[in-house]
Structure 1
Amino acid sequence: MFKGILIEKDDGGYRAALTDISEDSLPEGDVTLDVSYSTLNYKDGLAITGASPVVRSFPMVPGVDLVGTVQDSRDPEFKVGDQVLLNGWGVGEVHWGGLAQKARLQGRWLIPLPSAFTPAQAMAIGTAGYTAMLSVIALEKHGVTPDKGEILVTGANGGVGSFAIALLARLGYAVVASTGRVAESDYLKQLGAAEIIDRATLSEPGRPLAKERWAGAIDSVGSHTLANICASTRYRGTVAACGLAQGMEFPGSVAPFILRGVTLAGIDSVNRPREDRLEAWARLASDLDQSLLPLISHEIGLSEVLEVAPQILAGKVRGRVVVNLAR
């Protein structure tokens, strides 16, 4: 038996509970792990509270990230004792995820834990940092270099936003951070933001084209915010879209794309090919200032997950939540 968060839906309703789970209940997979750390992401908050139909099969263990040690393996890539890392691949949605002390997964979903990071550090980064790195790489591949101008980062106090600011600033970009919590400007400036703006300046319906400002942007908000960003992106700039906190609709115009040659780059972190994952984590090892991790993240125990999940959805949690499965 091991402890984990289990979500169930039946005639009694939708509920999540910390409970004892039998190892015999683990789903199919060719690698079994002892999980040491996981995370609590926005998507996990949706799954645990039932605020959105994230979970597509029941019962379900949430948790889109995990680090663990191989207990048993039928995949030749991994042997007993290896430390491995997982982000995405539908775990916590269609396959049991990381918020339990054991996991059974497909070996092709795993990558080795980078030697630059401890398990706790890797989860402080997690899907948020990995997604931010994928977004930065997308800007680079579309020719957005530091000399081109300001880069906007929305959802700046969240996990993706925090890492995007830290990475871009270290790479020499001038970063403007958009947030609904302007009172936390000091935190964003510590990460490297040069300017802070209120998210309200972007979140309402706007014009098809606005004054050019951004050389590029990393947006985790979507909806009117994304449309307004595109409308004010400079000629041949690039916007990396990686989230939908405001909504999944795109109430915008084709004008920025046709008249200014703006690129809208979609960032999928869930089903990303292995080589992209390895590249992103290698870049995180070289480009992330690890001294910022205690500022961006904090640790809780498995027993605190159910209490913290709704706080994430309410926007009351700054940065990253690391879950220690031993607590």
Structure 2
Amino acid sequence: MIIRNDWTREEITEIYNTPVMDLVYRAATVHRAYHDPNEVQVCTLLSVKTGGCPEDCAYCPQAARYHTDVKVHKLMEVDEVLDSAKAAKDNGSTRFCMGAAWREVRDNKDFDKVLEMVKGVNGMGMEVCCTLGMLSEEQAEKLKDAGLYAYNHNLDTSEEHYEEVISTRTYDDRLDTLNNVRKAKISVCSGGIIGMGESHNDRVGMLHTLATLEEHPESVPVNALVPVEGTPLEDQPRVSIWEMIRMIATARIIMPNAMVRLSAGRVRMNIEEQALCFLAGANSIFAGDKLLTTPNPEEDMDKQMFQTLNLKPRASFKDNEAPVEFQTIPQ
């Protein structure tokens, strides 16, 4: 099967609307051609700087303008973050993601501190990921030099629906950051959220944008909105499991090499529903009791699920050469 970057919206719409049994079968077949179906990447996400964000993303409890229960916390100390990374590694995570509620990265002491965090986590032999908002080409280079493996910057939704969700930055701003990350040769993590009042065409549009990038993102998170009281989207109805499965399966078919991450919304799913998502091509999850500020299944529940489904955690740096310090040096 050839990796394609020339998908049309019509082709993706046809895949998305395939009868669900046929869709899951096709996605599972593609998944087995490119991945071990019993292997799932376990990632941990830590909010290293919480709340007080000047953006107006309608789904986000960390926006300063909304009245939510999120307490504002300044940037954590490097040692605290490294302790959390070690605990995550001990619990089976192979990727550690650090999120800061910033609109954009600024060249200041806080960014220097984040660079130290990146160096420290990389030194543990984990894949280290950051999501820090918009990023310049020079900042991306600094993160790469510090040992950053991946950068998350979600498109959130389609270009057409974007202004209904966010007005404080543009869709092109998002794409520019992804381009800067790619230029620095950092792995790209980019997906979106469903359940924000978008149409099925908007969901297809977001997938179309990702699948027609010059290179597909190495990781595609699929999030179901977790409505938070105090945000403009607090009354949105819950996304059904079948909508999640359609998104995951379609992403798997059009971006076969990507890790497709079953992300926010998993706390509302039972094991059977999550198993259907894995069958449809999801092969990455976030572990830990929180995703930045929203609830997530407890780690013990995930361990039980892995046992029940005979899943195994994916090793770090599986698709790449390990960093020099972790390579076996020929004698």
Larger of the two Rg values belongs to structure: 1
Which protein is richer in helix relative to its size?
2
Return the structure number with greater relative CO, CA threshold 8 A, min gap 6. 2
Is TM-score (shorter-chain normalized) higher than 0.5? no
| TM-score, length-scaled by structure 1 | 0.29
